[in-house]
């Protein structure tokens, strides 16, 4: 009987010690963030979808982080998101006070070794999850001569891009190589807003690639007034709004094309992912991940996103890490085909 009692007492003591340790750990995280300032690094200029989602997330996520820290938004545009990624991955403090929404094209950029300026390994980041995903769309302006994918194979057109390494450069280059389109990619624009204005002025025939959600948020009148013509979409399924717009993976005719098209299409599920720096302390990372997922079901957050024309389609940190890993570790034979296609501008 005494042995049994000793076991019980030991179990109670151990359980009490573990509970005390968990409380102390939680208190340490709360104390840290109570006195910290968190920065949201936004990879684009003010305005645009990255800015839209990042600022709303900052506003609501702070309420779910222990200690309720202030979150300051810092715009850091450049290189299709490479400038912000390099800062977060190489320069920023690794203490859990940095957040950013990563550029959609960067895992593909690293997988294919496209941009020497990308100095980070996407697998090293500490992902929190993704807010949403939305198909990428190449759209032309209503007055442009290219009105369909078939037109794009016959008629050369000027397509705007935010820079090498961005999907607005990668995707039209891919279409040129695999589908036989004649897009001429024009660089020098730092945001989709600038590209939209250039289309309105007649300087461009279209945009290299923009998420469908971005049009609904940034320029809903374009959709309402049919000012743009989506001519191809990329994703694993068609957008409900675009049932008649060709989906890239449906156009594959050979096994080689299927593998290449799926590689590109898988990257779209990367979505709008939020990450911190590499090497965030485990207790703070756990708190940030929990805060992110709580925000995804926060009625105030969801309502504000929807009022702005956006959607909340969350993915977990594990899902994002898997997508990144699978893209980067795709068989070299497939990557070589895609690399050649995307490098042709």
- Bridge partners of 41? 74, 100
Maximum separation of any 2 CA atoms in the chain, in Å = 91
Residue bearing tokens 């485990």 = 282
And the tokens for 338? 């895609």
Q: 342: closest CA among 29, 114, 80? A: 114
Q: Which helix (H) or strand (E) holds 304?
A: helix 299-307
Q: Give the span between the Cα atoms of 257 and 174, in whole angstroms.
A: 11
What is the pLDDT at residue 22?
Answer: 56
Is residue 249 within 8 A of residue 262, CB to CB? The reply is yes
Q: Give the span between the Cα atoms of 248 and 257, in whole angstroms.
A: 10
| Fold classification of 29-133+271-330 (topology level) | D-Maltodextrin-Binding Protein; domain 2 (3.40.190)
8-state DSSP, 79:
G
CATH 3.40.190.150 intervals, the chain: 29-133+271-330
| Fold classification of 136-268+337-343 (topology level) | D-Maltodextrin-Binding Protein; domain 2 (3.40.190)
Does residue 326 sit in helix, strand or coil? helix
pLDDT tens, N- to C-terminus, the chain (345 residues):
445 455 555 455 554 444 455 556 668 999 999 999 999 999 998 988 899 999 999 999 999 999 999 999 999 998 889 999 999 999 999 999 999 999 888 998 899 888 889 999 999 999 999 999 899 999 999 999 999 999 999 999 999 998 876 789 889 999 999 999 999 999 989 888 899 999 999 999 999 999 998 898 889 999 999 999 999 999 989 999 999 999 999 999 999 999 999 999 988 888 899 999 999 999 999 999 999 999 999 999 999 999 998 889 999 999 999 999 999 999 999 999 999 988 765
CATH 3.40.190.10 intervals, the chain: 136-268+337-343
Burial of 333 (0-12, 13-18, 19+ CB in 10 A): exposed
């Amino acid at each position: 009987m005494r042995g049994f009692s000793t076991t019980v007492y030991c179990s109670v003591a151990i359980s009490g010690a573990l509970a005390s340790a968990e409380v102390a750990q939680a208190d340490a995280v709360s104390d840290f963030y109570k006195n910290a300032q968190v920065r949201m690094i936004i990879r684009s200029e003010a305005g645009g979808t990255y800015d839209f989602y990042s600022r709303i997330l900052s506003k609501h996520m702070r309420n779910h982080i222990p200690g309720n820290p202030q979150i300051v938004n810092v715009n850091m545009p450049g290189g299709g998101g490479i400038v912000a990624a390099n800062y977060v991955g190489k320069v920023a403090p690794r203490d859990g006070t940095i957040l950013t929404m990563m550029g959609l094209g960067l895992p593909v950029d690293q997988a294919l070794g496209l941009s020497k300026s990308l100095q980070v390994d996407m697998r090293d980041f500490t992902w929190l999850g993704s807010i949403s995903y939305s198909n990428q769309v190449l759209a032309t302006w209503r007055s442009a001569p290219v009105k369909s994918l078939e037109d794009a194979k016959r008629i050369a057109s000027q397509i705007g891009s935010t820079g090498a390494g961005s999907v607005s450069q990668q995707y039209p280059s891919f279409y040129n190589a695999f589908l036989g389109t004649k897009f001429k990619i024009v660089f020098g624009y730092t945001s989709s807003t600038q590209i939209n204005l250039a289309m309105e002025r007649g300087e461009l025939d279209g945009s290299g690639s923009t998420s469908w959600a971005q049009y609904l948020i940034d320029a809903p009148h374009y959709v309402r007034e049919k000012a743009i013509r989506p001519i191809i979409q990329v994703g694993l399924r068609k957008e409900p709004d675009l049932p008649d717009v060709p989906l890239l993976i449906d156009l594959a005719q050979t096994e080689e094309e299927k593998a290449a098209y799926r590689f590109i299409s898988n990257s779209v599920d990367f979505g709008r992912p939020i990450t911190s720096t590499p090497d965030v302390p485990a207790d703070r990372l756990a708190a940030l991940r929990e805060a992110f997922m709580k925000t995804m079901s926060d009625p105030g957050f969801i309502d504000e996103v929807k009022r702005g024309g956006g959607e909340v389609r969350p993915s977990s940190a594990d899902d994002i890490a898997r997508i990144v890993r699978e893209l980067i570790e795709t068989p070299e034979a497939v990557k070589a085909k895609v690399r050649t296609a995307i490098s042709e501008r």
